Each structure stands twice: as C-alpha cells, then as structure tokens.
Structure 1
Amino acid sequence: MTLGSLFTRASTKDRAFEREAMPHMRSLYGAAMRLVRSPDDASDLVQETMLKAYKAWDQFETGTNCKAWLFRIQTNAFINKYRRRVKEREILEGPERQAAEHNLVHLPSKRAFLDPEGELVDRTLGDEVLKALDTVPEDFRTVVMLSDVEGFSYKEIADLCEIPVGTVMSRLFRGRRILQEQLFA
C-alpha cells in the first residue's frame, strides 16, 4: 500500500464520518446532558463517544441508522463511567467524600454562546420540568428521554439499552407517569 493510497483512504473515512456522524452531535449532547446533568461532563461524554465512533468507523455499516449506532456507543460509555464512579464512591466514603462533594464546582456552560437557540429551548422547558425529570429514576428517565426527546422507536431504544421492547414500553409508561405526577402534584 502506497503512502498516497493511505492518505486517500484516510480522507475518505474523514469525509464519511463528517457527513454521517457529525450532524448528530447536538442530539448526543442533549442526551448526555440529561444523563449526566453537567455541561462539562456532557461535553466529555460526547467527545468520548465521537472518538470511539471514529476509531470504530470501519465497523459501521453504511446505510444503517448512524444516530442509533452513536447513541449505543454513548450509552455504553455512560454505563462504563457510572460503573467507575460507583467503585470510586466505595473507595471514598465518610468525611472525605463529604469534603470532596462540598468542593465540587460547576462552571457556567458555554452553550449559551455556542447554541443560543438550544439554550432558549432548554429555558423554555422551565425549571419545573427539569426538576421533575430529575426525580424520575434513571432507567425510566433514559427511556423517556430517548423516546420523547430524541424520537427513537421502541425497537431502537430496546437495542440501545439492551432490554426487551416490552421493558421499554413499561419503563416509558412508568417514567411518563412519574413525570406527570411530579408536574401536577
């Protein structure tokens, strides 16, 4: 293989990735924000997702649902981070944990500058909806978010979360009911 053919192959991969995957970054970021609830952590999760997707781009089957493929990667990355955090919490308990949590600082998001339209939509949702969504248990919240916010089908959600379609439907029903109870309580 010549050096020229390597560059051609790499640039073809770059163009295909840019064309297929990059348009989904806003959706990935929105989903990440709902999962991790921190702009910095959401950006990190999206960056990790895109890096993993780019490295595995040769495994992506052209013509399949790229958005679902990216969400699967992001979901796996989130689960892996969650597992690491659980292990870290087991190590850090008691006064040390309280001190660490007290010193955590979240910097303001740059999103208002980068995506004013998205920021306005989020503000329109209102604090009440976001607070209510935070009370929904994570398994239900993830399914509600993937269905109602991202527009995935039951089958796609089942594939993303690696659960049966029936479980998706029951979690969606329960999640919506909890959300509704919180909003109208």
Structure 2
Amino acid sequence: MLNLQIIIGSVRQGRGGLSVAEWFEDIARKDTRFTVERVDLAELNLPIMDEPNHPRLQRYTHDHTKRFSEIITRGDAYVFVTTEYNYAIPGALKNALDYLGPEWAGKPMCAVAYGGVSGAARAVEDLRRVAVALKMIPLVQGVVCPLYAQQRDDEGRFHGNQTQTEAAAETLNILAEMGAVLKARRLAAA
C-alpha cells in the first residue's frame, strides 16, 4: 500500500484549498491502494526557511524541520492542492518545498489546482519546475477547478463536477501505478 500525502499549499485565512483538499481526500480514502495523509501547511506553520545547512545534507537543527522531514519521508506519492498567487505557487508552499531535499526525491507528484478563470494553471507549471529541481516525478494528470467558489455550498464545502471527479480517479490511477514502481525502486536501492 502506498502512503499518499495531500499537501495543502495555501495558509491564508479563509482559503478555499481546505474544502478542495477535503473533496479530493474523500475520493482518495475510498481507494484501497492508498493510505491517505493530509499535510496542512497552515497547521505546520513553518517559519521562513531558517536552517543553516543546505537541505541536501539533511543536517537539520530545528525541531520543526526534523518533524517536517519525518512527515514528508513517509510519503510515497504527493498531491499538492494549490491556488495561484501572482502566476506562481503560494509562498508558503515554495518555502515548504525548499526546506527539504532528498525527502522529496524519486516520488511522483500531481496537483489539484483551484482558483479563478485559469484554475491556477500557471501555478501548476511553476510547481512542476520546482518538483523537477527536487527530483520528484511530476505527472501530467491532475484536477483543475476554475471558478471553484461557484462549486461551494452554503457551508463552504467544495463539490467537484463529473469531469473533476473523473480527473481525480485518473490522477489516483497514475499515482498508484508510478508510485508502486518508484517505491520498489527506492526499496531496491536502500
């Protein structure tokens, strides 16, 4: 079984990402190929990267970094739930990615993007570039939620449409396939 981590990239008060992540998480938890772990950057509250050593060395000095490293190391595949800030990923997400190095490497990632008309498409491209630099395996599958606020109910819960639900299933399929291959590769190299 693969440990799928759903990472919520926005920490802003009133963020829509939590409702989008909960929708995707409900779908993922029904998939028996995964254990699902939510990683909410708002709860982790990482300060601006404050480690004295380069992340590739994994010589962490702060407890918050050690804890974050342990969390991300557990992951076999990642789904980043992100919006778009000025054509890029939120600063909190970029900061979190920059904290670590080897923990991310050799693992597949996809995105569930939400936002306005563009559905955070530019942020996803930004995220993929960073993922490549961190030696993750970015996959093209994902879910796009343009004008997502129109799909929220009175309680603020997001309800994906049929296209988004099908995209979520396709995303989970490729993550299961690639995640299994890459996990076996990591275990063989260990």
Q: Which TM-score tier does this pair reach, normalised by the shorter chain?
A: under 0.3
Higher strand share: 2
Q: TM-score under structure 2 normalisation?
A: 0.27
Q: TM-score under structure 1 normalisation?
A: 0.27
**Larger relative contact order (CA 8 Å, sep ≥ 6):** 2
Which structure: larger Rg? Answer: 1
Higher helix share: 1
